[in-house]
Amino acid sequence: MADTRPVIVLVRPQLGENIGKAARAMLNFGLTEMRLIAPRDGWPNPSAGPAAAGADAVLENALVFDTLAEAVADCAHVYATTVRKRGVTKPVVTPEEAAREVHAAPGRSAYVFGPERSGLETEDVALARAILTVPINPEFASLNLAQAVILCAYEWSKSADLEQPTAEEILPPAPQEELEGLIGHFERMLEAKNYFWPETRAAANRLTLRNLLTKPAWNHLEVRTLRGILSSLEDARRKRD
- pLDDT of 239 > 80? The answer is no
Q: How confident is residue 84, by pLDDT bands cut at 50, 70 and 90?
A: low
Stretch 164-181: mean pLDDT: 76
Q: What is the distance between the alpha carbons of residues 169 and 162, in angstroms, rounded to a whole number?
A: 19
- Please give the full DSSP string across the chain, using - where no structure is assigned: ----PPEEEEES---HHHHHHHHHHHHHTT---EEEES-TT-SS-TTHHHHHTT-HHHHHT-EEESSHHHHTTTEEEEEEE-SS-TT----EE-HHHHHHHHHHSSSEEEEEE--TTT---HHHHHT-SEEE-----TT-----HHHHHHHHHHHHHTTTTPPPPP-TT-PPBPPHHHHHHHHHHHHHHHHHTTTT-SGGGHHHHHHHHHHHHHTT--BHHHHHHHHHHHHHHHHHHHHH-
- pLDDT of 190 > 70? The answer is yes
Q: pLDDT tens digits, residue range 10-67?
A: 999 999 999 999 999 999 999 999 999 999 999 999 999 999 999 999 999 999 999 9
* Core vs surface per residue 50-79: b (16+ CB within 10 A) or e: ebbeebeebbeebeebeebeebbeebebbb
- pLDDT of 110 > 60? The answer is yes
Lowest mean pLDDT across 91-105, 158-172, 176-190: 158-172
Q: What is the distance between the alpha carbons of residues 102 and 12, in angstroms, rounded to a whole number?
A: 24
State the pLDDT at residue 85.
55
Domain with CATH 3.40.1280.10 in the chain: 7-157
CATH of domain 7-157: 3.40.1280.10
Residues near 116 by beta carbon (within 8 Å), at least 6 away in sequence = 13, 14, 15, 18, 144, 145
State the pLDDT at residue 88.
65
- Between the CA of residue 96 and those of 39, 105, 132, what are the distances in Å? 28, 14, 10
Pairing of strands 34-37, 7-11: parallel
Lowest mean pLDDT across 2-6, 161-165, 170-174: 161-165
Q: How confident is residue 118, by pLDDT bands cut at 50, 70 and 90?
A: confident
